[in-house]
């Protein structure tokens, strides 16, 4: 009888005179992780009560199921999304993913068999985060860790509701940090995810990634998969970013995003040779905005930024993450290399309008056009190289849908009339007849136009 991989002994192998095998004491203890030796059981016990189930309904509109919908548990028919959330504060603030509640008219939160109606406090598509509020007190808020202290190779647990299976815990390790996966939305998406091999599936979105002490280190957001189900890698928004976004949304309803006034790219061997730079890590300044923070700090294209406040810069994703911890008006110290000479400068971060004041998002909702309209910022105008524009979002039943405009399209002019204000856009469209040309920029930054006849 041939040996099987599952059966190490075969017939005829045992001999009565054979020497006994050395006896080893069996160790049936659960694996322990972390410096304090906290078991998975304790980590799960501490974190599971802080994770909720979220159901979002977008009314009775029919929406076809797409690959993205399958990936994150959305369904056709009465458009719905389900996912997970994490209790951020005991008085009812909950963090989840923006894509879980995006477009929802009604959001429900289920916690310990109780169902609450939730209000959306604010969303941030750039980080795919959203904050909800339910009317409750004394909730078990999760303990926050520090994603900056997370090490590759340490244990991580994903807590959520995959496939509507509530309170599910899976274990793995942190397999990478600062991972870029081209997932975020908008011109300034944050691309610096914690990568884990803890199993994450549809429904885990918005759930907790915790360390061996049960502390939150990230919000589970995406998976890398060809099928829509777990295939080895999941990605979480780092908790240091989550904390900043959540506090801004709760306090202002808008993320007070900080800008350095420059664009950067990764430094690789080819770029280092091209610039004749001896540095082997950092980011290269590729563009400096006129009159922006970087320009005022003396930075120039070709400079290689290697440190932010004494923290070494490894990649563009990490650089963006480090900057995202700060607010407009904060001062940071940048270490950089110019002509192979190390230099240093202080830079005062600005907001999207190029100043340091607190900004609140102003969205004009047009029932006639069936869309939300928003004037784009100075920073966006600089990046897109346009003098003005109004972004069209949340397109629903109405005129804009009939025109076939894509969500996120920036209208810069209509029949050569500059569009720099949402109300002006409505007025111009309401009185046009005959041939109409709408010029603008799509979500990929490509300029073009739409042509219609009325």
Angle at Cα 256 formed by Cα 389 and Cα 56, nearest 5°? 80
Whether residue 421 lies in the annotated active site: no
50, 82, 111, 128: the active-site residue: 128
Distant-in-sequence, close-in-space partners of 17: CB < 8 Å, separation ≥ 6: none
CA distance 126 to 154: 27
- Options 47, 99, 197, 212, the catalytic residue: 99
Helix (H) / strand (E) containing 67: helix 67-71
DSSP string across 127-186: TTEEEEE-S--S--PPPB--GGG--TT-EEEEEE-GGG--SEEEEEEEEEEEE--S---S
Determine the 3-state secondary structure of 226 from DSSP: coil
Distance, in Å, from the CA atom of 254 to the CA atom of 125, rounded to the nearest integer, reads 11
Active site residue 205: yes
Q: What whole-number distance in Å separates Cα of residue 245 and Cα of residue 250? A: 9
* DSSP for 339-402, written as a single string: TTEEEEEEEE-B-TTSS-S------EEETTTTEEEEEPPHHHHHHHT-S--EEEES--TTHHHH
Q: 42: exposed, middle or buried (C-beta count within 10 Å: 0-12, 13-18, 19+)?
A: middle
Contacts of 454 (CB under 8 A, 6+ apart): 432, 433, 434, 436
Q: Go through 412-446 and write b for each residue having 16 or more CB atoms within 10 A of its CB, e for each that does not.
A: bbbeeeebeebebbbebbeeeeeebebbbbeeeee
- Which among 50, 147, 192, 205 is annotated as catalytic? 205
Angle of the 239-252 helix axis to the 316-324 helix axis, nearest 10: 40
Q: How many residues does the chain have?
A: 454
Is residue 111 annotated as a catalytic residue, yes or no? no
Rounded to whole angstroms, the Cα distance separating 368 from 366 reads 5
411-417 contact pairs (CB < 8 A, 24+): 411/438, 411/439, 411/440, 412/386, 412/387, 412/388, 412/439, 412/440, 412/441, 413/438, 413/439, 413/440, 414/438, 414/439
Active site residues: 99, 128, 205
């Amino acid at each position: 009888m041939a040996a099987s991989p599952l059966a190490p002994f075969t017939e005829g192998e045992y001999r009565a005179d054979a020497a006994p095998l050395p006896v080893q004491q069996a160790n049936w203890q659960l694996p322990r992780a972390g410096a304090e030796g906290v078991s998975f059981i304790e980590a799960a016990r501490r974190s599971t009560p802080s994770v909720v189930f979220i159901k979002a309904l977008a009314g009775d509109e029919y929406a076809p199921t797409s690959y993205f919908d399958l990936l994150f548990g959305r369904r056709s028919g009465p458009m719905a999304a389900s996912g997970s959330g994490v209790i951020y504060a005991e008085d009812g603030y909950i963090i989840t993913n923006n894509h879980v509640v995006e477009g929802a008219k009604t959001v429900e939160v289920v916690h310990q068999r109780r169902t609450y109606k939730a209000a959306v406090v604010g969303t941030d598509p750039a980080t795919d985060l959203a904050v909800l509020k339910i009317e409750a007190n004394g909730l078990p808020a999760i303990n926050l860790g520090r994603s900056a202290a997370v090490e590759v190779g340490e244990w991580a647990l994903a807590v959520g509701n995959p496939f509507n299976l509530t309170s599910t815990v899976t274990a793995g390790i942190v397999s990478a940090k600062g991972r870029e996966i081209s997932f975020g939305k908008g011109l300034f998406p944050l691309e610096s995810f914690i990568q884990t091999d803890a199993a994450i599936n549809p429904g885990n979105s918005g759930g907790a990634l915790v360390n061996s002490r049960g502390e939150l280190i990230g919000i589970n957001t995406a998976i890398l998969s060809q099928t829509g189900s777990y295939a080895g890698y999941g990605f979480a928004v780092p908790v240091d970013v989550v904390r900043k976004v959540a506090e801004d949304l709760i306090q202002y309803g808008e993320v007070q995003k900080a800008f350095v006034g420059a664009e950067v790219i990764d430094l690789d061997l080819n770029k280092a040779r091209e610039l004749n730079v001896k540095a082997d890590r950092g980011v290269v300044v590729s563009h400096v905005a006129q009159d922006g923070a970087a320009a005022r700090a003396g930075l120039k294209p070709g400079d290689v930024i290697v440190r932010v406040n004494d923290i070494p810069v490894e990649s563009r994703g990490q650089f963006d993450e480090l900057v995202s911890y700060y607010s407009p008006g904060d001062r940071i110290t940048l270490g950089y290399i110019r002509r192979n000479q190390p230099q240093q400068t202080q830079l005062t971060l600005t907001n999207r309008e190029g100043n340091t004041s607190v900004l609140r998002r102003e969205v004009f909702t047009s029932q006639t056009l069936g869309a939300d309209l928003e004037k784009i910022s100075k920073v966006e105008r600089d990046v897109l190289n346009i003098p003005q524009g109004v972004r069209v979002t949340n397109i629903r039943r109405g005129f804009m849908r009939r025109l076939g405009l894509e969500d996120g399209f920036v209208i810069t002019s209509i029949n050569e009339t500059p569009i720099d204000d949402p109300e002006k856009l409505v007025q111009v469209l309401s009185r046009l007849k005959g041939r109409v040309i709408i010029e603008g920029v799509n979500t990929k930054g490509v300029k073009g136009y739409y042509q219609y006849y009325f």
